[in-house]
Structure 1
Amino acid sequence: MAKIFRPAAAKRNKNQRQRVIEARIEHLDHQGQGVVSNHQPIVFATGGLPGEQCQIVIHEQKKHVWLGHVKQIRSSSEERIDPFCPHSEVCGGCQLDYVDPENMREWRRQAITQLLRKIAGLEVSNWGPDVFTEPKGYRRKTRLAIDARQADSIRLGYRQQGSNQVVAISQCQILTPKLQALIEPLQSWLKTCGQARHLGHITLLEGADAILVQVKATRQLSEGAMTSLREFGQQYDVVVALEDKRGEIDYLVGSGDMLNYQPTADIKISIGANDFVQVNDRVNQQMVATAIDWLLDYKASNVLDLFCGTGNFSLSLAQNGFAVTGVEGIASMVERARSSAEQHALQQCNFAQKDLLNPAMVAELLQHEYDAVILDPSREGAKEVCQQMQAKRQPHIVYVSCNPASFARDAKLLSERGYQLEKLSLVEMFAYTKHTELMASFTAQK
């Protein structure tokens, strides 16, 4: 019997007529898309699992690849589960909520093994332990969109799959319990504040010692709306900040000094709503601990931390006796890192602002000898750095990646520069989503 599967919204090329094919999903790629490799061109389809016979709607046709989504499942996989969220049909957040995370991790490892073989020419025969935690209640930061175009139907929630429409949510089980508990009170506040149409979004951030509710306003709010926002903060014991359209932030309840997070038990790092922070606190702590263990195994003492952000790895390494130089391109994050180092009296931890996409700056950095280098780049990866790494000057690398595709490209570059892939672990930072992260270590070839 045919099973109807929720279609993922997709952009359609207006010059192409959509076509429908019948096919069996063979495996998944690293983003959780079903792959039909025995079809020419190869087909990537969202919504399918290995072994499932599906009806697939093709919405984009390229020369070597077709992109589509599963419309109907003719025979369902035993690995398919029922989505846990009542908003699953429309919300674009948990793209893979029909897959058990444990099974998904196995499929991710298989996909990344194939990706590294194809792009980098590397064989991964021995994966290290996965880095993961409970798949729900983990997200400590989120941005809730607001749609107040209709005064009698104000929406607070997430964007719909493949569109800008806001889906009003009543719950979000991947948020930490304390953030979940704020959703309905915020909905009530929006309906009574009288100026919801002048608000863009609301950012929630749970720190180690306080919770932040930051409201983005597109114009000056009335005194009544400001008063009600202060009352909200006092009632729910949260820090409340108002961000104007220029990005300037005014704290209405509490202060930014109350907000921090802990990559390790002994380190607290100041953080703001607009700063990057790993949203899964427990997984982040495991990643930092893993990096420390690997560097201790290498007997490293002098470490260069590139793309260091606010010092997520740097400060914890310094606390454990390493001499660390952290480099980041965003000035505000460098200042936060320096401030945290001063607060913890970590004199062996220094920070600098440099553009790590600038070949000359990278070359200058890598002229110095370090026992090890940590790379924790954005999704674009660390191409410029990897092209200039010197195995004799920097014999060990710990690479934290949030994009397996750019990681595979960079792994190829490092291999060509005289490094070998020694350790590789899957990092489940965002359970139930298409996002995959990795931790890897490279050592100079002997």
Structure 2
Amino acid sequence: MSRKARKRARRHAFGVTEITDLASNARGVGHVDGKAVFVADTLPGEQVLFQPVKVRRDYEEADMVTLFSAATNRVTPECAHFGLCGGCALQHASPDAQLRFKQGQLVSALSRVGHVQAERELAPLVGARWGYRRRARLGVKYVPKKGGTLVGFRERGKPFIAELSRCEVLVPSVGTRLRDLAHMIDRLTIRERIPQIEVAAADNRVALVFRVLDEPSAADREVLAAFGTEYDFAIYLQPGNERTIAPLEGTAEPLYYTLPDFDARLYFLPNDFVQIHAGVNEAMVAAAIGHLDLQIEDTVLELFAGLGNFSVPLARSAGRVVTVEGEDGLVERARDNARANDCANIEAHVDNLFEPAAAPAWMPERVDKVLIDPPRSGAAEVMPLIAASGASRIVYCSCHPATLARDADTLVNQHGYRLVAAGVMDMFPHTAHIESMAVFER
């Protein structure tokens, strides 16, 4: 039998395994004849019947067919589409089990990748577990065979848009109206030329940005406007790149969110990056400010500063805040937000932090504290600059444990910092995505 034939036969076979761990993508890990089997929607301690869906030399990916024994921390998923939709991976695990998984992944990455161990574990930062997601990109596809337009996330492991009636993690004003959105798009002449919708939920309004590959007709615009009025959505169109985003009609009301603990109101555009979970974001900002132990004479350096999510709170307690961000539009918003919040002690700079100069012009002569919130790729390029600044304390907010661990290795094992604390932030409940915070001291 050829190798391909053996693979085909194996995909039609069944097996039984006991799940002993969770992989980084939240699939259960079992073993059969010494070969790893990753089974979706399973938990450690469970025994399952599985069917392989992908067969490789060293491992298999599989779907669960029968659950013989359930773990004590298994719960019933809240969403009727769990398993079909690729948006969530852990709805079958209790909240405590999800947090233990994420903390375990963080500790493992720090040890395995960074060769470091935190002196203490930070309590997890948590918030609402449902209806929390205020930013999302929804796929759109007109599929006549399925009755019309589909609006939602991709199917798990597939490129197709899942047929969803609602989404339990999206803000309810959008998550409960996926079918209303779909039926509205069905009425448009350009229904086959709308590939996606960006959702941006502010404190004052929910914005929907429709990517349009063709110009909407006058009748289309009337339908879109009526839909926005009926459900109180601010409707935007995006005919080209992000710079082409504009309100459907006239001038839109500025979007904003607040950080009540710091008397801050931050304005943003529908395509700007803001943290997904409003409640966890508030907790994250407060925790970061607390860990920095700011004094009124401190000069704080903030890197990857965005539109001012941390900057304004930092400026409430520090004497001087120097921020750096690579996207000029976000820096413009950061300066506007500093003015709107009466923070004259914020200096916002534009620079590419992935290719910093050896002695950048924005670097203050004295740096007391550093706050860094980089993208998934981390901040390897600026680690030497941070270390050379002489900052006594660094707070690093991360959206990927492996790159945090790599950068922690640099700070601790090359530049003499201590990793005094680290813990997870549950910014994306029910998913395998892990956000974390680490505190370093010289």
RMSD of aligned alpha carbons: 2.7
Q: Is the 8 A contact 2:49 2:68 kept in 1?
A: yes
Q: Equivalent residue for 2:433?
A: 435
Letter in 2 for 1:95: A
Matches within 5 A, 1:276-291: 276-291=273-288
Q: Would you say 1:85 and 2:79 are equivalent positions?
A: yes
Matches within 5 A, 1:154-193: 154-193=149-188
| Count of aligned pairs | 430
Q: Would you say 1:250 and 2:270 are equivalent positions?
A: no
Q: Hey, what's the Cα distance between the residues in 2 that align with 1:148 and 1:362?
A: 53
Structure 1: runs of 5 or more not aligned = 1-12
Q: Equivalent residue for 2:220?
A: 225
Q: Equivalent residue for 1:269?
A: 266
Q: Equivalent residue for 2:198?
A: 203
Q: Hey, what's the Cα distance between the residues in 1 that align with 2:93 and 2:280?
A: 20
Q: Would you say 1:71 and 2:64 are equivalent positions?
A: yes
1:340-367: CA deviations, max 9, x gaps? 1122221101111111111426766567
Q: Would you say 1:296 and 2:284 are equivalent positions?
A: no
Q: Hey, what's the Cα distance between the residues in 1 that align with 2:364 and 2:30?
A: 46
> Which stretch shows the higher mean deviation, 296-305 or 321-330?
296-305
Structure 1 residues 48 and 348, CA, compared in 2 at 3 Å: closer, same or farther?
Answer: same
Q: Would you say 1:137 and 2:135 are equivalent positions?
A: no
Structure 1 residues 299 and 144, CA, compared in 2 at 3 Å: closer, same or farther?
Answer: same
Equivalent residue of 1:215, what SS?
strand
Letter in 2 for 1:252: L
Q: Would you say 1:112 and 2:112 are equivalent positions?
A: no
- Deviation of 1:36 after TM superposition, in Å, equals 4.7
Equivalent residue of 1:360, what SS?
coil
Q: Is the 8 A contact 2:74 2:92 kept in 1?
A: yes
> Which stretch shows the higher mean deviation, 356-365 or 217-226?
356-365
Q: Equivalent residue for 2:7?
A: 17
Structure 2: runs of 5 or more not aligned = none
- Deviation of 1:142 after TM superposition, in Å, equals 1.8
Q: Hey, what's the Cα distance between the residues in 2 that align with 1:290 and 1:410?
A: 21
Q: Equivalent residue for 1:353?
A: 350
Structure 1 residues 318 and 257, CA, compared in 2 at 3 Å: closer, same or farther?
Answer: farther
Equivalent residue of 2:108, what SS?
helix
Q: Would you say 1:126 and 2:120 are equivalent positions?
A: yes
Equivalent residue of 1:390, what SS?
helix
Q: Hey, what's the Cα distance between the residues in 1 that align with 2:361 and 2:391?
A: 13
Q: Hey, what's the Cα distance between the residues in 1 that align with 2:103 and 2:241?
A: 43
| TM-score normalized by the length of structure 1 | 0.88
Q: Hey, what's the Cα distance between the residues in 1 that align with 2:284 and 2:158?
A: 34
Identical columns (%): 29
Matches within 5 A, 1:317-336: 317-336=314-333
Q: Hey, what's the Cα distance between the residues in 1 that align with 2:139 and 2:71?
A: 35
Q: Hey, what's the Cα distance between the residues in 2 that align with 1:60 and 1:403?
A: 28
Q: Would you say 1:405 and 2:399 are equivalent positions?
A: no
Question: Relative CO higher for 1 or 2, CA cutoff 8 Å, sep ≥ 6?
Answer: 2
Q: Equivalent residue for 1:8?
A: none
Letter in 2 for 1:427: M
Q: Equivalent residue for 1:215?
A: 210
Equivalent residue of 1:97, what SS?
coil
- Deviation of 1:305 after TM superposition, in Å, equals 0.7
| TM-score normalized by the length of structure 2 | 0.89
